[in-house]
Chains A and B, each alone.
Chain A
């Protein structure tokens, strides 16, 4: 077997590699042995590797806008490790591609031969993965603490205006049709049809009509919690910024949605509007401004100077 490494234009045709039993370009045309191939969009580290191990190249050819280098089979393990490291470092450096390349370039300078390179890379992959896991756990813990404090701060608004929030009705649905029928009775069939697509993707979700209803499929409620992050109250409304998330080991695992739950004090009507998840860490009032179209998906003001009069 031979490992074919193809390098092309950055991003779109950046790199791919696969195993094949021949050294000819027929491999690239067929897409690799049994369809096995790995590809990605940050191929620069592979160019450094090719330069480093040019003496091992047994053939090279061009196909489909890429230049292919054929290496012995054991190089595939090395390339897999590099692919894993690129992906991890891309997260580690917050998508800063230059830092990723610099990091790998420095690492590859320690490579004398394939075995030594494999051990250097696998050690680095483990180290970076461990840091990423620790960082992610710290983030989950911080978010959970923030939401717990948010609930304490907004406790009086929750109990006064949204008593049903603590223990909402639960509706379990089995199919999208079943969901649409249920929502149709609550919201009217036109809105139900439009909401059902979002619910099917983000379930369990909260629905506000006269009361609050949590809609979910069977088993989806395991570990699911709705958190309160922030709140605000004026003469005309009271609002809560709520977050639906799954938890694991007591900490937030995955955020499903972010919404503004409110009550219009004039009409005594409950309302619940979903907002973009990019506003997860924004104040409730900024999120409310998104509902009015006054800020964008990242909470940046759309108008420089305005006078808002509302009732």
Chain B
């Protein structure tokens, strides 16, 4: 059976399962903290990597993604690419 790609969305923040080759050299932090338009923060504990300008987060065990205004999401273990909702007017993600 084909493996399902895991994708999570909480508000404007998207986590898309990825298979990037990350190393200790690309690590930039131990928690993903993303401020949303309302000023509140999406928070996910896990090692954060920056590979060629793209953010990734590595989740080792089921971990909650929290935000004061959204229900929490339990993120399953894996490597995730950090993306944001797109807008054609901006020709890029809203971040």
A residues in contact (CB < 8 Å) with B: 191, 194-195, 198-199, 202, 205, 264, 266-267, 269, 273-276, 290-294, 303-311
Contact = CB atoms under 8 A, between A and B. Distances in A.
Contacts of A269: 37-38
A273 B86 contact: yes
Given A269-B38, A274-B87, A291-B86, A307 B5 contact: yes
- On chain B, which size bracket covers the interface? 20 to 34
Q: Is the interface of A mostly helix, strand, loop or mixed?
A: mixed
B1 to A, nearest CB: 9
Interface of B: 2-11, 14, 16, 37-38, 69-71, 73, 83, 85-90, 94
Contact of A306 (B6, B11, B71, B86): B6
Contacts of B11: 264, 266-267, 311
Given A264-B11, A273-B89, 7 more contacts: A194-B90, A266-B71, A267-B11, A273-B85, A291-B85, A293-B16, A294-B7
A217 B69 CA distance: 37
B5 A292 contact: no
Contacts of B5: 303, 305-307
Given A264-B11, A306-B5, A311 B94 contact: no
B37 A306 contact: no
Nearest to A199: B89
B87 A273 contact: yes
Given A273-B94, A310-B9, A290 B86 contact: yes
B70 A267 contact: yes
